[in-house]
Amino acid sequence: MREVASGSSVPTVVTVGTIAFDTIHTPVASAQRVLGGSAIYFALGARFFVRPGLVGAVGNDFPDEELSQFQARGIDTLGVQTLARHRTFSWEGRYLDNFSRRETIHVDVGIFEAYAPKLPEAWRHVPFVFLANGSPTHQVGLLDQIAGAPCVVSDSMNLWIEIDRKGTEKVFTRSHGVILNDEEALQFTGEASLLRAARRIADLGPRFVIIKKGEHGCLCLSGGRCFVVPGYPLEMVSDPTGAGDSFAGGVMGFLAERGDVQGASLREALLWGGVVGSLCVETLGPERLIAATRRDIDARFSALRAMVEGT
Amino acid sequence: MREVASGSSVPTVVTVGTIAFDTIHTPVASAQRVLGGSAIYFALGARFFVRPGLVGAVGNDFPDEELSQFQARGIDTLGVQTLARHRTFSWEGRYLDNFSRRETIHVDVGIFEAYAPKLPEAWRHVPFVFLANGSPTHQVGLLDQIAGAPCVVSDSMNLWIEIDRKGTEKVFTRSHGVILNDEEALQFTGEASLLRAARRIADLGPRFVIIKKGEHGCLCLSGGRCFVVPGYPLEMVSDPTGAGDSFAGGVMGFLAERGDVQGASLREALLWGGVVGSLCVETLGPERLIAATRRDIDARFSALRAMVEGT
């Protein structure tokens, strides 16, 4: 990592997205106002590999201890603003039918009434950028503040594909890589096959397209090659919230650490993403992901690789 | 392969199951009375590797040319009886919601009113047996006619798990391996996790348990190890009928050819099963599977292995 004049290190990967309080109901348990949001889960997944930097905002109800906790976990919060007149974004949702369906009960947009992402000056030359799920306007807004030519990877979700398709497409066009889940990829392209959907998205310009399939792993197109990686088999799922974002954190964290985003590195990154995502779902909220150590994910990576490669 | 006195070769793997006429409606096309049934699809998948032998029955409406066609494809039909007073078993079904649901429209049990499986005397020492989906009574009935200690692998389906749970369990207990799809494994065990379901089935005695996940590949428990193999990504699915049975044919065919049912062989067999199953779904009915050559499946195997292992 490069050092800047202030003595603080510049993050290797910067993410912009939501920082949230989630209220989650699963078939077996509920949790009130636990830490969540796309940028948070991404950073919690990427921190095992490199120093992630958060760009986002919290409201007047966000405890300082939470920010300190991120810093203690190696996440740089220089890009997090506190908007004193607003509340933190919050989401309440429920999982149904053995986690196969999710419904939103309530959303409080909070800080998003007033916020526009601001990249810290010291971070302008960051080499890796992840545009986590958030409005395309914010995603492009962050890109426009970046100097140089970082490796940009973007995510989106059904809401933005529906209400701002053009903006979503613009983000993809400016990205080196795109990570979407299966439903979003089919929705965005109108295709019925994930392989065809991935090809259509790659036609927009990204060098790689990763389609997440939840517990079933993912599929990746890159430079004419296709990789398929199964999910890490789990005995129990407690809460899928944030699994996709932490998967992306694992993928990008590994790519940034390796400094290579092609071929064998990309394929290995998919396994690391699967490992991080599988840890994420083991507790309600991000508890397990916060508690996990590099040793934990190394052990699970070895197990997953053995299960996949039969070695 | 061993030669018997008559000069005909004994099959390496014998299967008992249904031989059927299927009428299939998909979201894009329909087919009337195409060849189908669990034993047929299994044999069509296994024939790429070894000589499969069919045990089953057809009715007075079954054309002799069809039997000749099997023989021309390397499938031994010595164990197929014709019941002159009955019609061939037939099934009519419809796929809905982009193939995520299947409903049965009509079943004509035909020969099953009168049939009990009869193993040809010359096949009593067959080394590999696949009890394709069919009634547990018939599965056990075939097992009781076998001499020696072949490697027995069994399949089942929701109907038999529901109406003859004890019989199904008895079949599993007498099997070296069990192959079920995800829904059946959860139904049989009452578990919510495939991994736990596989463990519960393994506790009954089988040395390996393979859980099929359709387009998402499969999971396999064997001797304390777990293998996970993703599905071969397809641009288009025409008809999933028989995919699970032909997958089992690919798995068993390869194991029988290799003469080893453990570790690396078992894991490689899962890839071959995926290859055969993916060919199966590319046409309405078994057309593609009938037309395919060993060269076709070799090419797809190389492609799948590269996608899975990143080599």
pLDDT tens, N- to C-terminus, chain B (311 residues): 333 333 358 899 999 999 999 999 999 999 999 999 999 999 999 999 999 999 999 999 999 999 999 999 999 999 999 999 999 999 999 999 888 899 999 999 999 999 999 999 999 999 999 999 999 999 999 999 999 889 999 999 999 999 999 999 999 999 999 999 999 999 999 999 999 999 999 999 999 999 999 999 999 999 989 999 999 999 999 999 999 999 999 999 999 999 999 999 999 999 999 999 999 999 999 999 999 999 999 999 999 999 999 98
Query: At residue A287, what are phi and psi to the nearest 5 degrees?
Result: -50, -50
Query: At residue B26, what are phi and psi to the nearest 5 degrees?
Result: -115, 170
∠ CA B131-B275-A190, rounded to 5°:
120
Q: Pairing state of beta strands B89-96 and B101-108?
A: antiparallel
Structural contact between residues B283 and B241, judged by C-beta atoms closer than 8 angstroms: no
Cα gap B184→B174, rounded to integer Å:
18
- Would the pTM of this model clear 0.80, i.e. be above it? yes
* Number of structural domains in chain A: 1
One pLDDT digit (tens) per residue for chain A, 311 residues: 333 333 358 899 999 999 999 999 999 999 999 999 999 999 999 999 999 999 999 999 999 999 999 999 999 999 999 999 999 999 999 999 888 899 999 999 999 999 999 999 999 999 999 999 999 999 999 999 999 889 999 999 999 999 999 999 999 999 999 999 999 999 999 999 999 999 999 999 999 999 999 999 999 999 989 999 999 999 999 999 999 999 999 999 999 999 999 999 999 999 999 999 999 999 999 999 999 999 999 999 999 999 999 98
Short-list A218, A216, A168, A174, CA closest to A198: A218
Instruction: Give the Å distances, CA to CA, from A285 to A22, A37, A93.
Output: 8, 10, 12
Complex ipTM over 0.95 = no
Name residue, tokens 């495939």: B194
CATH number of residue A44's parent domain:
3.40.1190.20
In a domain, B280, yes or no: yes
Structural contact between residues B227 and B270, judged by C-beta atoms closer than 8 angstroms: yes
- Give A213's Cβ-side CA count (13 Å radius): 22
B264 to chain A, any CB pair closer than 8 A? The answer is yes
From B98, which residue of chain A is nearest by alpha-carbon distance?
A: A192
B235 to chain A, any CB pair closer than 8 A? The answer is yes
B95 to chain A, any CB pair closer than 8 A? The answer is no
CB contact under 8 A, A98 and B195: no
Instruction: Give the Å distances, CA to CA, from B278 to A210, A219, B228, B285, B309.
Output: 21, 16, 17, 13, 18
Structural contact between residues B247 and B274, judged by C-beta atoms closer than 8 angstroms: yes
Name residue, tokens 């599965």: B139
Query: At residue B99, what are phi and psi to the nearest 5 degrees?
Result: 70, 10
Q: Pairing state of beta strands A151-154 and A177-181?
A: parallel
Q: Which domain holds residue B38?
A: 13-309
Structural contact between residues A282 and A276, judged by C-beta atoms closer than 8 angstroms: no
Q: Residue B247's beta-bridge partner residues? A: none
* A–B interface: beta-carbon pairs under 8 A: 84
* DSSP state letters, chain B: -PBPTTSPBPPSEEEE---EEEEEE-SS-EEEEEEE-HHHHHHHHHTTTS-EEEEEEEETT--HHHHHHHHHTT-EEEEEEEETTSPPEEEEEEEETTTTEEEEEEEE-GGGGT------GGGTT-SEEEE-SS-HHHHHHHHTT--S--EEEE---HHHHHH-HHHHHHHHHT-SEEEEEHHHHHHHH--SSHHHHHHHHHTTS-SEEEEE-GGG-EEEEETTEEEEEPPPP-S--S--TTHHHHHHHHHHHHHHHHT--SHHHHHHHHHHHHHHHHHHTTSSTTHHHHH--HHHHHHHHHHHHHHHH--
Cα gap B269→B275, rounded to integer Å:
10
Cα gap A59→A111, rounded to integer Å:
6
Instruction: Give the Å distances, CA to CA, from A65 to A84, A174, B58, B154.
Output: 16, 36, 74, 57
In a domain, B137, yes or no: yes
CB contact under 8 A, B233 and A235: no
Tell me which residue in A192, A219, A263 faces B98 most closely, judged by beta carbons.
Answer: A192
Residues 6+ apart with CB under 8 A from B243: B41, B214, B277, B278, B280, B281
Residues in chain B with CB shorter than 8 Å from the CB of A217 are 216, 230
B216 to chain A, any CB pair closer than 8 A? The answer is yes
Q: What is the DSSP letter of A60?
A: T
Q: What is the DSSP letter of A9?
A: B
CB contact under 8 A, A194 and B233: yes
B310 to chain A, any CB pair closer than 8 A? The answer is yes
Structural contact between residues B310 and A264, judged by C-beta atoms closer than 8 angstroms: yes
Q: What is the DSSP letter of A122?
A: G
pLDDT tens sequence across A204-227: 999 999 999 999 999 999 998 999
- B265 C-beta neighbours (distance < 10 Å), count: 15
In a domain, A1, yes or no: no
- Minimal CA separation from B152 to chain A, in Å: 23
In a domain, B8, yes or no: no
The tokens of B172 are what? 């599993």
Short-list A132, A127, A175, CA closest to A43: A132
Structural contact between residues B236 and B282, judged by C-beta atoms closer than 8 angstroms: yes
Structural contact between residues B42 and B130, judged by C-beta atoms closer than 8 angstroms: yes
Residues in chain B with CB shorter than 8 Å from the CB of A308 are 227-229, 308-309
Query: At residue B94, what are phi and psi to the nearest 5 degrees?
Result: -135, 135
B230 to chain A, any CB pair closer than 8 A? The answer is yes
Residues in chain A with CB shorter than 8 Å from the CB of B264 are 310
In a domain, A47, yes or no: yes
Structural contact between residues A269 and A251, judged by C-beta atoms closer than 8 angstroms: yes
From A196, which residue of chain B is nearest by alpha-carbon distance?
A: B235
What are the residue ranges of helices labelled H in A203-262? 243-258
3-state SS of B32-56 is EEEEECHHHHHHHHHCCCCCEEEEE
Cα gap B34→B90, rounded to integer Å:
10
Q: Residue A25's beta-bridge partner residues? A: A30, A94
In a domain, A4, yes or no: no
CB contact under 8 A, B228 and A228: no
In a domain, B4, yes or no: no
Q: Residue B226's beta-bridge partner residues? A: B221
Cα gap A199→A180, rounded to integer Å:
13
In a domain, B300, yes or no: yes
The alpha carbons of chain A give a radius of gyration, in whole angstroms, of 18
